Amino acid sequence: MADLLRRVAERSDTAAFRELYQTYGPRVKAFMMRQGTDAATAEDLAQETLFTVWRRASLYAADKGSAATWIFAIARNLRIDRLRREMPWQELPEERLEAAASEALPDEALAEKERQARVRAALASLPPEQHEVVVLSYLEGLSHGEIAARLRVPLGTVKSRMRIAYQKIRAGLEDLR
């Protein structure tokens, strides 16, 4: 076989290339198909492999391995190159196209419920006057001035109740960060 590659390297013996193609073409195609390549692509890769062998036959070194090993190494490398060039994305059939689920994953939903329960418990543990300013501010969206007017207390009282409530809530929920 090394002699055949030497004759192919000379490029003057077309019979040598024909013999090479007839010997290795079907074997390389079968190798490609065993690797999961479809028949048409396997045929293309077999032709590309043997063309590469024809161009690089002078680089073959018998002391580094058999001719078959060298040829199949070229085939393997060309297949890998083809896979890298191909676009891995394939469109789904229309019946499979749909929007991603908007609901949270089960573990995320559970974690969110636990956080909400902890926040409700922290709010419930506040004294009534602090609980009231937090609810008016965060749930009803009132400003500190509007809260002071509604509760008929000084603005400074609303701010201090809010600050103390915030400190208690933060201390109770510190581990949720």
> Is residue 70 situated within a structural domain?
yes
CATH number for the domain including 163? 1.10.10.10
pLDDT in tens, 122-160: 889 999 999 999 999 988 889 999 999 999 999 999 999
What is the mean pLDDT of the segment spanning 109-126? 88
Residue 19, in any domain of the structure: yes
* pLDDT of residue 96 exceeding 70: no
In 3D, which of 84, 173, 165 has the Cα closest to residue 127? 165
At residue 97 the predicted structure's pLDDT band, cuts being 50, 70 and 90, is low
In a domain, 39, yes or no: yes
Instruction: For residues 40 and 114, state if they share a domain.
Output: no
Residue 119 in domain = yes
Residues 6+ apart with CB under 8 A from 82: 41, 45
Last residue of a domain, one of 31, 54, 85: 85
Enclosing domain of residue 130:
106-176
The domain total for the chain is 2
In this prediction, residue 15 carries a pLDDT of 86
Question: What pTM, to 2 d.p., does this model score?
Answer: 0.48
Same domain, 75 and 20: yes
Residue 92 within any structural domain of the chain: no
| Max Cα–Cα distance, the chain, nearest Å | 106
| Residue 126, token pair as written in the block | 């506040």
Phi, psi of 104 (to 5 degrees): -70, 155
Domain end: 51, 85, 119, which one? 85
User: Distance between terminal CA atoms of the chain?
Assistant: 70
Torsion of CA 22, 23, 27, 28, to 10 degrees: -70
Same domain, 59 and 114: no
User: Do 71 and 7 fall within a single domain?
Assistant: yes
What is the structure's pLDDT at 39?
A: 92
Domain assignment present for 140: yes
Q: Looking at the predicted structure, is the pLDDT value of residue 99 above 80?
A: no
Question: Tens digits of per-residue pLDDT, 40-90?
Answer: 999 999 999 999 998 888 888 888 888 889 999 999 999 999 888 876 776
pLDDT at site 78: 93
The model's pLDDT over 5-14, given as tens digits with 9 standing for 90+, comes to 778 877 777 8
pLDDT at 174 over 80: yes
- The first and second tokens of residue 79, run together, are 């297949």
What CATH number is given to the structural domain containing 66?
Answer: 1.10.1740.10
CB atoms within 10 A of CB 54: 16
